[in-house]
Structure 1
Amino acid sequence: MPPVDNRIFMDHERVLNTHDANSDMASSSEPWSVEKYCERIRVEIVNETSDGMELEFDLIGVEAPIANALRRVLLAEVPTMAIEKIYMYQNTSLIQDEVLSHRLGLLPIRVDPRKFAFPLTKTIGINESGVDCDSEPPGDPKYNVIFELKVKCTKNPTAPKDATEPKDVFINSSVYSSEFTWCPIGDQETELLPHPAMVHDDILVAKLRPGQEIEARCHCVKGLGRDHAKFSPVCTATYRLLPIIKIKEEIKGEAAHLFQKSFSDGVIAINVNSNGEEVAVVQDARRDLCSRNVLIHEELASKVELSRQRDHFMFSVESSGALRSSDLVVEACKVLEEKTRDLRRLVSSVIR
């Protein structure tokens, strides 16, 4: 059987060779095996920030459905902790209770969700009048993390007479996420290290003026992004195929500069050959965004071949702050593994 070209070719207005022969078992003359399939899978770390919140890696040797499954699990099925119930004792700000509660619920929290269990019952019961319970429950250290927000705006007695900025004239004119105080439950003081906190201290929650105040206690629970976006563990989780740029014919002089401008910055470089002529060369194809602008120029279109590697996925993952991006990828793989086990059990129960 002749080797299959594993590239997707990009024409001016078409994309060719999109059929995924690797995932078509009927097209292979050899029996498919899990062991051989896993042998060709590789993961290469490209870049990771010092704080671990951003990660770039290449997933090589898999098909698009598997890469997309990893991306979707990262977005929606890796659990995190988020504010679920808010007990509003005082809110005299201009923001309505329900709008303020929604804003608080979206604040990212730095706490390891693996140390908690999913809530098995409703966080709050409803009384016979259809109203939430009259008093705040104490919380359970296995299920909850509790934060308290208590801030009041007053006039600044030491403010200069000519001051006009609210931050100078008033005290606590702006309420930031740094105002939240963690309230340990049970043995959480020693069990949760480092202590839970807001991921960012500079998120603006509300603005107050003298006499206005906010007092609330926020109960966090473990949840999934598929239930609510506030539980999504990533800011972004994306992938794209590895670009391949093949120069079929030497491009010199002004054409080389035009060729360079047709791609994203850093993709094409201009070198000087042995004859002293400027020649275009591929410097870093990974930077190419596949705009195909070069194909607009008739004099250049025939000299270049644009394609993408079908089984080479360049992932970019940015954590929202609960866990490092690398930990999130590992947790996503565990979720995928459990899904495959469940599917295998279901199939086995049917075919017996």
Structure 2
Amino acid sequence: MVKKSTTKTTEPDFPSNEILMQEEVVLNTYDECTDYIEYDDTKEFSIPEYCDNIHVAMVNESEDKMTLEFDITHIEAPIANALRRVLIAEVPTMALEKIYLYQNTSVIQDEVLCHRLGLLPLCVDPRGFQFPTEKVVGINEKGVDCDEEPAGDATRNLIFKINVSCTKNRNALPNSTDPKTLYHHSSVYSGSFAWVPIGDQKSNYTDSTTPRMVTDDILVAKLRPGQEIEASCHAVKGIGRDHAKFSPVATASYRLLPTIRLNAEITGEAAERLKSVFSEGVIEIEKKGSKRVAVVKDARKDTCSRNVFRHEDLAKVVQLGKNKQHFIFSVESTGALKSSELVVEACKVMETKCRSLRKQIQALIK
């Protein structure tokens, strides 16, 4: 049962800071000039006042600090999207750039194996290294592979070595069919890599901060008796804009905070239907005297499915929207830095860009 309200609900007043969700249309933040927060044109725009209105709230962080959910309010979509893009493409990390392959008798081709090695995430703080100043030379003057592996630069490189060969397990049971019991090193994992310090690098790290792979259980290749992989891998500092292997995040996304308004009292069977069309925890039913009334418990959990519009009676009194000034960010680090540290580094990159742009504009004005 849907009880009609005494006020007009067919065209309710909709806040200017929200985007209306219709049955078959969802406006974006840039539609109908809704991209920017409304300001008082009679007052001069104040940057300090604008920054004071911005609020950042930590919502959830995993125990390993690699996954983070936080809210940013009172900013525009272009700023939120800039933060997302910088997180993905412009926060630097370390990744394997040059693979000096001494032996590869596995079934994986050399170039495919090197590509797989380059994508392995490294657990090392990139802030202690400098960007490479010149392109890594991979061929000699004759146009073939280099004759000798370079020593590496302690301020720009990390070296990881791997040497794994597969042999038969002579103690395996005769009826065994599992390769892990039949052979030694039948599978090569990321844990097989060993860090080789360059110069005084070892003094810069403790046991807990030693450069390593993020996890030791990433499958690199499978071997059989007689097959071997031996390589020396040089890591450099880079950004995701150059190659995806340098991207510090597995995911970096945001969504607008959903809003749900009930413009009439919904009770009885209608309340049960309303609860069923939303995600779990969005709508709850509370007792109000002898009636069971639907209330909005947590609009944040709504996935914006708009299933409510399938019910004609509910669609008339339920108003869906999104708060265009409230951004819910989700950041998942690949393991080099904590997610919270990545957000701070992304803000520093944005600040550097803003300062650079300001200098260029000032130069043009002069």
TM bracket (short chain): over 0.9
SS, match of residue 138 in structure 1: coil
Aligned residue-pair number = 349
Q: Which residue of 2 aligns with 1:340?
A: 354
Q: Distance in 1 between matches of 2:165 and 2:295?
A: 63
Q: 1:20: how far off?
A: 4.4
The question of 1:196 aligning with 2:207 is answered: no
Q: 1:11: how far off?
A: 1.2
The question of 1:14 aligning with 2:25 is answered: yes
Letter of the aligned partner of 2:174 in structure 1?
K
- State how 1:208-223 maps to structure 2 within 5 Å: 208-223=223-238
CA contact (8 A) 2:35 2:77 kept: no
Tell me whether 243-252 or 9-18 shows the greater mean CA deviation: 9-18
Gaps of 5+ in 2: 1-13
Tell me whether 217-226 or 296-305 shows the greater mean CA deviation: 296-305
Report the identity percentage: 59
Tell me whether 24-33 or 7-16 shows the greater mean CA deviation: 24-33
Q: Distance in 2 between matches of 1:237 and 1:22?
A: 21
The question of 1:112 aligning with 2:122 is answered: no
Q: Which residue of 2 aligns with 1:98?
A: 111
CA contact (8 A) 1:8 1:310 kept: yes
Tell me whether 336-345 or 284-293 shows the greater mean CA deviation: 284-293
Q: Which residue of 2 aligns with 1:232?
A: 247
Q: Which residue of 2 aligns with 1:330?
A: 344
TM-score by length of 1: 0.96
- State how 1:37-186 maps to structure 2 within 5 Å: 37-124=50-137, 126-186=139-199
For residues 273-298 of structure 1, give each alpha carbon's deviation from its aligned partner in whole angstroms, at most 9, with x where no partner exists.
Answer: 211x3221111111111111101210
CA contact (8 A) 2:37 2:325 kept: no
Q: Distance in 1 between matches of 2:350 and 2:145?
A: 37
Q: Which residue of 2 aligns with 1:297?
A: 311
Q: CA RMSD in A?
A: 1.6
Q: Which residue of 1 aligns with 2:270?
A: 255
CA contact (8 A) 1:53 1:324 kept: yes
Q: Which residue of 1 aligns with 2:7?
A: none
Q: Which residue of 1 aligns with 2:328?
A: 314
CA contact (8 A) 1:124 1:132 kept: no
Q: Distance in 1 between matches of 2:285 and 2:36?
A: 40
TM-score by length of 2: 0.92
Shift of the 143–316 alpha-carbon distance from structure 1 to 2, 3 Å rule, reads same
For residues 233-287 of structure 1, give each alpha carbon's deviation from its aligned partner in whole angstroms, at most 9, with x where no partner exists.
Answer: 0000000001111111111122111111111122111222211x32211111111
- State how 1:259-298 maps to structure 2 within 5 Å: 259-275=274-290, 277-298=291-312
Letter of the aligned partner of 1:216 in structure 2?
A
Q: Which residue of 2 aligns with 1:35?
A: 48
Q: Distance in 2 between matches of 1:162 and 1:330?
A: 56
Gaps of 5+ in 1: none
SS, match of residue 266 in structure 2: coil
Q: 1:189: how far off?
A: 0.9
Q: Distance in 1 between matches of 2:91 and 2:276?
A: 41
Tell me whether 52-61 or 23-32 shows the greater mean CA deviation: 23-32
Tell me whether 24-33 or 232-241 shows the greater mean CA deviation: 24-33
Q: Distance in 1 between matches of 2:268 and 2:120?
A: 54
Q: Distance in 2 between matches of 1:125 and 1:298?
A: 67
Letter of the aligned partner of 2:230 in structure 1?
E
Q: Distance in 1 between matches of 2:202 and 2:39?
A: 58
Q: 1:127: how far off?
A: 2.0
Shift of the 230–287 alpha-carbon distance from structure 1 to 2, 3 Å rule, reads same
Q: Distance in 2 between matches of 1:293 and 1:27?
A: 38
Q: 1:164: how far off?
A: 0.5
CA contact (8 A) 1:25 1:32 kept: no
Q: Distance in 1 between matches of 2:111 and 2:232?
A: 14
